Structure formats: C-alpha cells, structure tokens
Amino acid sequence: MLLHCSKKIAERLPEPVAESLEETAVLGSWHAHLFQLKRRQCLLFCHDETRYMLFLPGVNKSHFKELGRLHRDLFLLSLAALEVPESRVMRVGLALGPPRFDRATDRSVLGSLNVAATDLSIYLEAVDNPLELDPVTVALMLNRRPVTARGAWLWPEKGMLEKVARL
C-alpha cells in the first residue's frame, strides 16, 4: 500500500519519506491529507482511483508512527460496515501489503480531499467536538455522495466495492 503524503504529513512521519515510489499493490494507492476541524487535527485518506474516503479525527504525534496500521484498520472496518464478507475483508488486508510513503501528490486527488474536508466541516457544524464522531459512519457518509474526478462522475462506494470484488 502506497500513501502519497502532503508536506505536513511527511514532516511528521518518524522516517524519511521518498520523493516518488511506484505502486505495486493490487488495490492501488491512496493520498493522505491533514487538516484542522474545530481546532482538532484530522486526517482524510482518499483512494486515488475511486475517490473512496476515510476519516480519522483527533490525530496526535503518536498516530503518525502507526499511520499505515491506522489506515489499514480503518479501511477494513469501513469494508465490514459495507457488509463485505469477512473472508474478502481478510483478503483485502493481505492485498494491501506493507505501508510505504512518498511525497508525489496528484492535484486532482488533493482537490477531491479539499472538497471532502469542506463537505465535512459543513456536515459537522452541529457537532461540538469531532472526537465524538464515529470514523466509519463519517466514511460511509463521504462515500455515498457522488464526486467528480477529471470530468467524470464517480460513486466512491460503488467503485471500491467493484475493486474489492475483483480480488
């Protein structure tokens, strides 16, 4: 699994981050974006191809040491919430492979992450503390909305389920 990190995230990772790596995982690569939501640091992960989103609120320094594991766990939990059979979820976990990080970002994916962060801030207007939110519920909400990428309309949940079904 390859996570393309923004400069903010790359600076917080415990090990140096490569400038550019080639993706070798079957499921493709992800982007990670750090942003502030009601004075809390939060992370959004976005799958490059399907624009499938994951949300992690209340990130602190210790989380960056385990960023790959946190992403994997959150992704597998979101698939389980979509009622993907457990055997397939386990297969996806194996297909992800070990986490690798680089700084090669795609402006289109970063744009999708910014739109999602804005949508999230509007959605959470009534919530006092982002830590009260269930990350899986927020991920499901983000993935059930249509998004555009390079002029095409995408349904993130549908796209990810199709990728997972091909494993």
Cα(6)–Cα(127) distance, rounded to whole angstroms? 27
Burial of 42 (0-12, 13-18, 19+ CB in 10 A): buried
Q: Which domain holds residue 56?
A: 2-165
C-alpha of 28 from chain center = 12
Please, what are the averages of pLDDT over each run of 10 residues along the chain (167 residues)? 86 75 82 86 92 92 88 94 93 89 88 89 79 87 91 93 91
Neighbours of 116 (CB within 10 A): 23
Query: Whole-angstrom Cα distance, residue 65 to residue 62?
Result: 6
Strands annotated E in the chain: 2-5, 30-37, 40-47, 53-56, 100-102, 147-149, 152-154
Specify the pTM.
0.89
For residues 62 and 100, what is the distance between their CA atoms, to the nearest angstrom?
A: 18
Q: What confidence score (pLDDT) does residue 150 get?
A: 87
> CATH number for the domain including 31?
3.30.420
Model pLDDT, residue 16: 64
Cα 114 to Cα 106: distance, rounded to the nearest angstrom: 12
pLDDT, residue 23, reads 73
Total domain count for the chain? 1
pLDDT value at residue 158: 95
